[in-house]
Amino acid sequence: MDENIFYPELTLETDDIIMELAIKKDYSKIRDSDKRKEEFIKDLHDFIDEFSQADESLDFIKYYDD
């Protein structure tokens, strides 16, 4: 990673999940804050869509029989 670029880090937390993400994209080039937010949220959606299709996503889901 370029040391001169700030990459956002984000912790998402619900009652059941804590996920820490580092976004490897320079959003500072988007001057309009609404457009920056829109792009950031679009990238999060894209990440979730891609993650849900990856075989590795199954590693995070475990089924336990009682």
> Whole-model pTM?
0.65
How high is the pLDDT of residue 33? 93
How high is the pLDDT of residue 42? 94
Contacts of residue 5, Cβ cutoff 8 Å, sequence gap at least 6: 26, 28
Q: How far is CA 60 from CA 24, 36, 50, 54, in A?
A: 22, 30, 15, 11
Domain segments of the chain as ranges: 9-60
pLDDT tens digits for the chain (66 residues)?
556 777 778 898 888 888 888 888 888 889 999 999 999 899 989 988 988 888 777 777 665 554
Residue 39: which of 3, 15, 8 has the closest Cα?
8
